[in-house]
Structure 1
Amino acid sequence: MTQQTLAARSAAAAITAICGFGAPTAYAEEPVIGDDNTVVITASRFKEESVRLPTNITIISKEDIERSNATQIAQLLKRVAGIQVSSVSGKTTVSMRGISAEQASNNVLIQVDGRRLNYTDIAAPDLESVLVADIERIEIIQGAASTLYGDQAVAGVINIITHSGKNKESSANLVGGSYGTVQGSLNLNHALSQDWSFLLSANYLETDNYRDHNEREQSQLGLKFHYLTETSDWLFELNTNNEDLNTPGALLESDLDKSTQSRPEFANDYVDTQQGVLRVFGQETIDDNWQYAIDVNYLDSDIESINSFVGFPTTTVNTTDRKQWSVYPRIKGQWQADSGSIDWINGLDYDHAEYAFSLLGRGNEQVVKSVYSQLFVPVSQHTDLELAARYARVEDDLVDFMVYPTGIKLKNSATAYDLGASHQFDKRSKGYVRFSKNYRFAKVDEQSYTADGVVGLEPQTGDSLEVGYEQTLGHGFLKLSVYQLELDDEIFFDPAVTPPPGAFFPGANVNGGRSERLGFIADYQADISSKLTSGINYHYVDAEIKQGEPSSQGSTIPGVSEHTINGWFDWQIDKVANWYLEVNYRGSRYQEGDVANALPKIESHVILSSAINWRWQQLTLGIRVDNLLDKEYIDYAQFGGYYPANGRNGYAKLSYRF
């Protein structure tokens, strides 16, 4: 493949992805099934016992995060069963359920305290904007969640919960390590009165990263005011994130003998981001039967960048401006019956986004309105049914100087529903089955660059079926699940179709027929002794394009590894020290965008990482080394453009709690 072809085929996805960028992790010990203290917010948007939810849920607790000595969310998620993590120039993409990394930002919903990190364009959610030191826990629901969360929640939801202020502990952290990395952070909690508290967080980071011309400087500041009584829970939040990042670009196969280099055409490339977030959250108990909650979120993101391609250097400065605000009111009723609790949740979601990208003269004003309802009914003391439905409408007011220079208005709608059941066989085991109808709307980049003669893309729709079993053992737990995810009119970039008139590269975004993913997840954790805990998980997925263009029909979905295995153990050496060792295997896969399976595969790899922590009263010293054996491998590749993964790297972290 020539350099020109590589650049052309990569351009549609790369322009916005670049400019937007758009563990132990010993996970929380599995509780006894039915433990009333086990709650998750992700799966109901209100606190709900996880035993009632007919789906696969993983919770990464605060203790897990601290014991892992992690400083990046990618380190925490990499070991979760069913998740595949990729990195491009120091930015992380998380995929689930056989969704490729290229499509993950469109099909996996990531939230921080209920606020969407996903954008209305195809840029990946900026996980690096979330400071690990601020995280209280991470809740991961696998499988379609369109009924509760609407657009983009096709393969699952990752909800990152940060400290709210009710945690009275303060902390200071200092990190130093490979690639000239220096990081300092502060979380200061203070009670203003019996009901009011505030939390101030600050972070500063400098690093050169693994590759040349990949320096990063980031500063963050956050302020939260928290009001908490027996019947009220209100949070007022403001945070800013400023980041300057040099982007090294892709390498050709001939460049991989020196994986740290950056090609000369990327010498001027960078992405500078300034972002501000405002959030108000409130939850009130009305009486014994009713409570309501409301989320109001506002994001203002301004990005300046230079984006070159292999063989095509440029010095043109581009700007990307995003403004997103949302209002999510909801109400929950709860009534006690002889067989258990009847829970009924109803809500409205309103999302408004404005987007402008200077390079392509592209702009969009998008409004999404949704209404949803979820009902839990106890059929017996051991069996619960879940019934849920959502209706959503989207309106796009779109301008693109090449395809829609005078503008166009596009309207569409979609529905989703869930039918699920969970059954407790005894106090330590349960089974569940769940069928879900899911959807996602086309993003602005996709709507503005469609095949010749196509005006607007239809919503992508799909069916998801999952059957699972969970067993709490005397020495650990076992989780098993099988799933099928079928997508119709799947939206993706196809390099083989005829582009719109005036296009300067081949291919276009399409509704691509039908695809299917059949998967199996096994997750096992064992307490070998009072001081040694270990675990292993396995994910198998057969992802195939069932119906589409003749060149791609029957092909394996690119970017998806058929096999993923993670293993780990955590040894509490003595009262003050623990040692953690983790191994990650990711199988081979086709390059992103290679729907015809015509390009060489990305080879499989095995990575070993380790951490050790010492704790003395309020002080903790941790050392972590990732890629312990200095394995050379490719983390992401698209159309013959390669992004090498980090070599062996490590750091020391000193933490003080007060």
Structure 2
Amino acid sequence: MKLSNKGRWSTAGILLAANLPLLAASHLPTIVISASRTEQTSIETPAGITVIERDEIEQSGAQNLQQLLQSRSSIQINSLYGDGSQATIDMRGFGPTAGSNTLILVDGRRLNNPSDIAAPDLNAIDLRRVTRIEIVQGSAGTLYGNQAVGGMVNIITREPEAFSADIAIAAGSYKGREGYADISNRLDNGLAYRFSAKRRISDNYRDNNETDRNDFNLRLDYEYARGGLFFEQQRIDHFQQLPGSLFADELAQNRRQSAAAYAGDFSETETDVSRFGLHQQLDRYWSFEGELTHRDNDREFQTGFRTFPGSLATQERTVKGFNPRFIGVYPMANGEARVTAGADLERTDYALQTSFGPTLLDQSVDAVYAQVTLPANDRITVTAGFRHASVDNAIESFAGVDQLDDSESVGALGVSLQANDSLRLFVRVDENFRFATVDEHTNPVFGQPVGLENQTGISQEAGAEWRRPGFNAKLVIYRLDLDNEISFDASEFSNINLDETRREGATLEGSWQVRPTITLNGSLTYTDPSITDGPFDGNRIPLVAARTGRLSADWTPSQRWHLYAEGLFSSQRVLGGDFGNRFEELPGYGVVNLGSQFTTGPWRIGLRIDNLLDKQYSNAGAVGFDTGFTRRAAFFPAPERNLWLTLNYRIE
């Protein structure tokens, strides 16, 4: 059931949500933003949140988000090349459309593109600039709106701190090389700055897959008695060759090759992001926070097909955002009541020029929302929320000029129970929605009629968290029902609305401190995504594994040494685009990764070895056409055993 476009509440249009905080090893309180869109040291608002802290990021030895998040509880990652550059985070089983159904934020700023289906650039954030990562399982339609369907990941970067400088060099497999420098300081007059620069080049695992990436980041802060200001500027230049997919016979012949049809394929992108923010205490109870964002993204690329060669194309995207909100905190007999009310206003100018002709978009996405968290007593917290969003699309394409406007409303109500000092229980129901993007509304290759329905849905969850000294465990079960899910049917080569779909599943995760120096962590996720109506009734959603798991161990034998090992598992998946479930499946796989850190004085040496056992597998695959227009299974082979060595020098 769903709310109407005019905002009438349906019987099931109320979200129940309650949160489960991660059991951090540190005794300090965990600071969380994602549950209320402002910093808080307790998680009383409705969201099931897991926090990956800075220490865990460093100890894993991960070089990018793909390595850090793969097979975490409730997360699957589909990666084309294995370096994180063409990867999408999938929560709750969306497969090929995961990039539009899992919301990725950086300090609350959207990486997702509301205008088109281009996946967020997961490598836009260097992990060395990250202080923690907050993972919200399940929908966040009230607080974050469009595209927050399966879940969200909020990457919190490090603010300027006392003077420090870092210089790092790194090298690894496939002629990979990297240089990094970072300097920050906080002055006595309230001013602070942080600047970082990085260059990374690599041939990567496949032929015709060279990459060259330059990142520059600047942050300025000014703090005063009742608030503060910040300004951020980011510049990214990224060039990458695109090796394409391989058919099974080509894979058996040479996993690293690239077909001749893709010889000239590449992508060259320039991205500039400017952001200004303010936080201000208004009175005893109320504060204001807001950000202005301007993002320019210019891309030149060529993508070939087996049936005909690619040609030069350009893509230009300008996104402007304004996100003001008011936060009220009122003391009550049983705790604090928290109110968050704000707006998300976004404007996008988009232009795509290919050999099929131009596609132009002028888009506005506007939303207002409110969320209230109330302590019913000393053990029960209740949360309610509401959002109304509208989209205006002016599209100029092969079909002419179209004005596609629409709106959606969702609501929220939530309950959590702290049963005792160790056990927390929660239930959650969350409405969600997604507006179709311009390239889903149109298909210039095959002349698809313009216009798709909005995707709407409702998510229901329940869970429990058990916390004892040295041992933590969390179980979440869920059901997600969607109407008009937006997807792509490879058999018809067109974008479609699936009639009804359902996802049911469970996630189990835990941590056990076996000894003061040894900690074991594990997670297991079960996902059953299926189409429940229409011509594909009963079939599985492509590119979603029914079972994924992770088991890791951290060992700190001394203050200088830290060792890390993890095993990842994924079951088989339906190939991308195969809604009929007629083709062979993408085989499951299991891999082992190792990491180690050695620190002495200002020096730190890190080694990361991925796919230690040299497993040959493909992380992504889809149904494609060969030169005879015959549909065949195509694969993107993952890297075999590879390593990365880092030397870091820190001045404080």
The TM-score with structure 2 as length reference comes to: 0.92
Is 2:553 aligned against 1:557?
no
| 1:146-225 matched pairs, under 5 angstroms | 146-166=141-161, 168-225=163-220
Instruction: In structure 1, give the amino acid aligned to 2:168.
Output: N
**Do the aligned partners of residues 615 and 160 (structure 1) sit closer, same or farther apart at CA in structure 2, a change above 3 Å counting?**
same
| Cα distance in 1 between the residues matched to 2:284 and 2:230 | 23
CA distance in 2, matches of 1:418, 1:388: 4
Q: Aligned partners of 1:74, 1:229: CA distance in 2, in Å?
A: 38
1:532 counterpart residue number: 518
The amino acid across from 2:572 in the alignment is S
Work out the CA distance in 1 between the residues paired with 2:468 and 2:494: 51
Tell me, what secondary structure is at the counterpart of 1:40?
Answer: coil
Name which of 553, 556, 560 aligns with 1:576: 560
Paired amino acid for 1:386? T
Cross-structure match for 1:511 = 497
Residue number among 377, 386, 391 corresponding to 2:388 in the alignment: 391
Amino acid at match of 1:535: N
Partner AA of 1:188 in structure 2: I
Give the match's secondary structure for 2:143: helix
Match of 2:48 in 1: 56
Per the TM alignment, residue 31 of structure 1 is displaced from its structure 2 partner at its CA by 4.1
In the alignment, the residues of structure 2 paired with residue 306 and residue 520 of structure 1 have an alpha-carbon distance, to the nearest angstrom, of 41
Shift of 1:273: 0.5
* Deviation of 1:381 (Å): 1.1
Q: Is the 8 A contact 2:162 2:185 kept in 1?
A: no
Question: By how many angstroms is 1:210 displaced?
Answer: 0.3
Partner of 2:294: 298
Q: 2:626 corresponds to which residue?
A: none
Aligned with residue 112 of structure 1, among 91, 106, 130: 106
Gaps of 5+ in 2: 1-20, 624-632
2:635 is aligned with 1:651? no
User: Can you list the C-alpha shifts for 1:261-282, whole angstroms capped at 9, x where unaligned?
Assistant: 0001111110001110000121
Q: Deviations over 1:231-287 (max 9, x none)?
A: 313210111000110010111111102110000111111000111000012111112
Deviations 1:155-178 (A, max 9, x none): 111111112213643322211110
Q: Distance in 1 between matches of 2:466 and 2:212?
A: 45
1:589 paired with 2:586, answer no
Larger mean Cα displacement after TM superposition, 624-633 or 72-81: 72-81
Which residue pairs with 1:642 in the alignment? 635
Residue equivalent to 2:403: 409
* Distance in 1 of aligned mates of 2:42 and 2:247: 47
1:455-466 superposed matches below 5 A: 455-466=450-461
Kept after mapping to 2: 8 A contact 1:629/1:648: yes
Residue matched to 2:305: 309
CA distance in 1, matches of 2:109, 2:448: 37
Show the counterpart of 1:39.
31
Partner of 2:67: 75
Q: Distance in 2 between matches of 1:597 and 1:92?
A: 25
Contact 2:162 2:186 (C-alpha < 8 Å) held by counterparts? no
Indicate if the aligned counterparts of 1:82 and 1:521 stay in contact, CA closer than 8 A. Answer: yes
C-alpha distance in structure 2 between counterparts of 1:637 and 1:111, whole Å: 27
Aligned pairs for 1:128-527 (under 5 A) are 128-166=123-161, 168-257=163-252, 258-314=254-310, 316-359=311-354, 360-401=357-398, 404-405=399-400, 407-449=401-443, 454-496=449-491, 506-527=492-513
Which SS does the other structure have where 1:122 is aligned? coil
CA RMSD in angstroms, aligned pairs only: 1.8
8 Å contact from structure 1 (residues 55, 466) kept in 2 = no
Q: What SS is found at the alignment partner of 2:55?
A: helix
Give a deviation string over 1:553-576, Cα, whole Å, max 9, x none.
Answer: 110111110000100101112221
Residue from 97, 101, 104 that aligns with 1:103 = 97
SS at structure 2 position matched to 1:81: coil
SS of residue paired to 1:149: coil
Per-residue CA deviation, residues 69-93 of structure 1 (Å, 9 max, x unaligned), is 2211111101421100121134243
Whether the 8 Å contact between 1:537 and 1:566 is mirrored in structure 2 is: yes
Contact persistence 2:574–2:585 (CA under 8 A):
yes
User: Secondary structure of 2:204's partner?
Assistant: coil
Secondary structure at 1:48's aligned position in 2? coil
Distance, in Å, in 2 between the alignment partners of 1:221 and 1:282 is 23
- Distance (Å, rounded) in 2 between the aligned partners of 1:131 and 1:522: 29
State the secondary structure of the residue aligned to 2:68. Answer: helix
**1:317-340, Cα deviation, whole Å (9 max, x unpaired):** 110000001000000111111011
2:90 and 2:99 in contact (8 A); partners too: no
Letter in 2 for 1:559: L
**Where does structure 1 differ by over 4 angstroms across 4 or more consecutive aligned residues?**
450-455
Q: Percent identity?
A: 31
Distance 1:110 1:453 in 2: 29
Q: Is the 8 A contact 2:442 2:449 kept in 1?
A: no
* Residue 542 (structure 1) aligns with: 528
Which has the larger helix fraction? 1
Query: In the aligned structure 1, how far is the partner of 2:39 from the partner of 2:368?
Result: 20
Residue 613 (structure 2) pairs with residue 618 (structure 1)? no
Q: Contact 1:36–1:49 (CA<8 Å) still a contact in 2?
A: no
